[in-house]
C-alpha cells in the first residue's frame, strides 16, 4: 500500500506541474489582450471627435463605389479569397499553438506535413489527411488534447514502471532476508547445541562482513535472546561480541534518526548490557519521546538494584507508556520494589502520579502522611489518585479531610470521595452522605446511596426510614444499588 500511495502521489504531482506549465502562458496572453483592449477603448474618444471629417471623406467614397458596382465576378472572387485567408491567418495567430510556438514555425510544420502526405500517401487517403491537418491547425485545441492524452499515458506508464520496480525490489529484499535468516538460524543453533565449533560456525556464516547480513544476524540473535532462558541464553551475547556486532548497534544508537536510535538502544540493552549502561544515562532526557521512553525502560532493566535512581536526574516528562512498560518489567523480572513515597515530593507531576499508582498497587503503608498530602495538589489527576489511594489503603483517619475537600472538587473527584466512604466510612459520616443524596446530582446521589447501603447495617436502616418527600428518588436509587448487575 505504501508503494501504491507513492505512485499515486507521483502521478498527481506530475499532472499538476504539467497543467501549471500549460495554463500560466495562457494567463499571461489573456492579460496582454486585456491591456490591448483597454488601449483601444482609450483611443475611441478621438474617433468621435473627428466624426465630421470622416463623413466628409466617406461621401466621395460612396459615389465612387456606386460607379464601380458592376464588377466582374472573376475580379471579386480573388478578393474574397484573400479576405478569407487573412481571417484564417488572424485566427491562427491567436490560436493556442501560438502560445508555445511562433506563427512562422507553425506554418513550416504544416508545410512539411502536407509535403510528406503528397509524397508518401496514396491519393485516396491524401484528401482525408489534408482535411485532418487543416482542422488540427485551425482548431489547435484538439492538438492540445492529444498532447494531454499522450502525457497522461506516458505518466501512467512511468508510475506503473516505478511501482513494479519498487515491488520487485521489496520482494527481492524479503527473499534475501528469508534465505540468510534461515541459514544463520541453523548455524547458530548448531553452535549452541555443540554440533559444530566456533571456527566451523564462522565459516558457515557467509557474507557476515556485509552490512545487510550483519543486520539480519542481529535480528536472529535478538529473537533467540527473547526465547531462550537459562544456560542457552548466555551463548547469545557471546556470539554477538565475538562478531563485533556491538559496533553496529552503537552506530545506530548514535544516529540522528529516532527510530534507529531506539533500535540501537534495544539491541545494546539485551545483547551488550555492560556497554549500554553509560550511554543510556545520557539518553533518559532525550528530547524525542520515543528515544527517551526506550532509554528509561532500558535503565530500569539494566539497574535492577536501584531501578528508579534516574528520577533524580530526570528533566523531561516520564511518559505514561514508559510507566506502563516499567510496571510490566517490575512484575515480569521480579525487580525489587522501592518505597515510592519518597518520590511524591518530586517536581514532575507524572512521577508523583506514577508513585501513587505504585503505592496503591503494592499496598505500601509506609509514610502514608505523604500520600494524604497529595489531596492538596493543584493537579486534578494527582488529587484523584490520592483519593483512590486513601480508599484502597483504608486510611480511616482521612474521613474528615475528605468531607472538607468535597465541595471544592470536580465531579470525578467527588465520585471518588463518595466511593471511599463505602470502605472507610462509619455512622458518623451518615449525615454527610444524606445531604449529598438530597442535594447532589443523580450520579452523586447514586454513589452516596451505594456507600450508605454498604457502609454499615445501621446506616442501611437509617436510610430506609426516609420518605419520598425528603428524597424523591430513594426507591429508584435503592433498587439500582441492590441490583447485583450493577
- Tell me the pLDDT tens digit for each residue of 164-189: 999 999 999 999 999 999 999 999 99
Range 101-128 average pLDDT: 82
- Looking up cell 491537418 gives 133
Task: Give pLDDT, residue 2.
Answer: 54
**Distance between CA 432 and CA 418 in Å, rounded?**
10
Q: What is the mean pLDDT of the chain?
A: 80
Neighbours of 124 (CB within 10 A): 7
- pLDDT above 90 as % of the chain: 44
Tell me whether residue 253 is exposed, middle or buried, using C-beta atoms within 10 angstroms of its C-beta: 0 to 12, 13 to 18, 19 or more: buried
* Residue 374 grid coordinates: 497529595
Task: Give pLDDT, residue 187.
Answer: 93
| Cβ-based neighbours of 113, under 8 Å, separated by 6 or more | 133
Which among 406, 408, 411 has a CA at the least distance from the CA of 421? 406
Q: Report which of residues 21 and 229 the model is more confident about.
A: 229
3-state secondary structure of 78: helix
Task: Give pLDDT, residue 64.
Answer: 39
Per DSSP, the residues of 29-46 read HHHHHHHHHHHHHHHHHH
**Distance between CA 246 and CA 218 in Å, rounded?**
9
| Cβ-based neighbours of 411, under 8 Å, separated by 6 or more | 441, 443, 444
Task: Give pLDDT, residue 104.
Answer: 80
Is residue 264 within 8 A of residue 254, CB to CB? The reply is: yes
* Residue 282 grid coordinates: 545520557
Which among 269, 272, 220 has a CA at the least distance from the CA of 246? 272
**Distance between CA 373 and CA 393 in Å, rounded?**
15
* Residue 118 grid coordinates: 503528397
Query: What are the Cα distances from residue 189, in Å, to 222, 242, 308?
Result: 14, 16, 37
- Looking up cell 521480579 gives 334
Which among 330, 254, 331 has a CA at the least distance from the CA of 295? 254
**Distance between CA 180 and CA 173 in Å, rounded?**
11
**Distance between CA 330 and CA 333 in Å, rounded?**
6
Is residue 239 within 8 A of residue 221, CB to CB? The reply is: yes
- The confidence band for 14, taking pLDDT boundaries of 50, 70 and 90, is low
Radius of gyration of the chain (CA): 44
Task: Give pLDDT, residue 95.
Answer: 57
Amino acid at each position: 500500500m505504501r508503494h501504491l500511495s507513492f505512485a499515486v502521489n507521483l502521478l498527481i504531482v506530475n499532472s499538476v506541474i504539467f497543467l501549471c506549465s500549460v495554463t500560466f502562458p495562457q494567463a499571461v496572453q489573456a492579460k496582454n489582450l486585456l491591456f490591448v483592449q483597454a488601449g483601444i477603448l482609450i483611443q475611441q474618444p478621438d474617433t468621435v471627435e473627428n466624426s465630421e471629417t470622416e463623413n466628409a471623406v466617406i461621401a466621395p467614397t460612396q459615389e465612387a463605389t456606386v460607379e464601380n458596382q458592376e464588377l466582374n465576378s472573376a475580379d471579386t472572387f480573388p478578393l474574397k479569397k484573400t479576405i478569407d485567408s487573412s481571417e484564417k491567418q488572424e485566427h491562427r495567430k491567436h490560436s493556442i499553438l501560438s502560445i508555445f510556438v511562433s506563427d512562422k514555425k507553425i506554418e513550416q510544420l504544416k508545410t512539411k506535413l502536407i509535403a510528406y502526405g503528397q509524397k508518401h500517401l496514396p491519393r485516396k487517403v491524401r484528401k482525408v489527411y489534408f482535411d485532418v491537418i487543416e482542422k488540427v491547425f485551425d482548431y489547435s485545441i484538439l492538438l492540445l488534447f492529444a498532447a494531454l492524452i499522450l502525457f497522461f499515458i506516458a505518466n501512467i506508464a512511468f508510475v506503473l514502471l516505478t511501482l513494479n520496480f519498487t515491488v520487485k525490489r521489496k520482494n527481492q529484499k524479503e527473499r534475501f532476508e528469508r534465505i540468510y535468516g534461515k541459514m544463520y538460524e541453523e548455524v547458530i543453533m548448531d553452535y549452541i547445541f555443540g554440533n559444530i565449533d566456533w571456527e566451523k560456525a564462522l565459516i558457515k556464516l557467509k557474507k557476515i562482513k556485509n552490512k545487510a547480513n550483519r543486520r539480519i544476524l542481529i535480528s536472529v540473535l535478538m529473537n533467540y535472546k527473547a526465547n531462550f532462558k537459562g544456560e542457552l541464553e548466555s551463548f547469545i551475547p557471546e556470539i554477538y561480541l565475538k562478531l563485533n556486532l556491538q559496533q553496529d548497534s552503537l552506530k545506530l544508537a548514535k544516529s540522528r534518526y529516532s527510530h534507529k536510535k531506539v533500535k540501537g538502544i534495544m539491541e545494546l540493552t539485551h545483547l551488550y548490557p555492560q556497554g549500554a549502561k553509560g550511554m543510556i544515562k545520557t539518553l533518559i532526557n532525550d528530547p524525542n519521546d520515543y528515544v527517551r521512553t526506550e532509554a528509561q525502560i532500558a535503565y530500569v532493566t539494566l539497574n535492577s538494584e536501584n531501578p528508579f535512581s534516574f528520577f533524580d536526574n530526570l528533566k523531561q516528562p516520564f511518559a505514561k507508556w514508559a510507566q506502563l512498560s516499567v510496571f510490566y518489567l517490575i512484575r515480569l523480572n521480579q525487580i525489587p520494589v522501592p518505597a515510592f513515597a519518597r518520590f511524591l515530593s518530586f517536581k514532575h507531576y507524572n512521577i508523583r502520579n506514577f508513585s501513587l499508582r505504585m503505592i496503591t498497587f503494592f499496598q505500601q503503608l509506609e509514610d502514608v502522611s505523604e500520600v494524604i498530602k497529595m489531596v492538596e495538589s493543584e493537579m486534578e489527576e494527582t488529587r484523584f489518585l490520592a483519593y483512590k489511594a486513601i480508599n484502597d489503603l483504608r486510611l480511616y483517619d482521612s474521613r474528615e479531610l475528605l468531607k472538607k475537600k468535597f465541595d471544592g472538587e470536580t465531579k470525578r473527584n467527588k465520585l471518588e470521595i463518595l466511593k471511599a466512604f463505602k470502605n472507610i466510612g462509619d455512622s458518623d459520616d451518615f449525615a454527610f452522605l444524606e445531604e449529598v443524596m438530597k442535594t447532589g446530582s443523580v450520579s452523586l446521589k447514586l454513589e452516596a446511596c451505594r456507600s450508605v447501603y454498604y457502609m454499615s447495617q445501621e446506616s442501611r436502616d437509617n436510610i430506609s426510614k426516609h420518605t419520598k418527600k425528603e428524597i424523591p428518588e430513594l426507591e429508584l436509587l435503592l433498587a439500582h444499588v441492590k441490583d447485583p448487575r450493577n
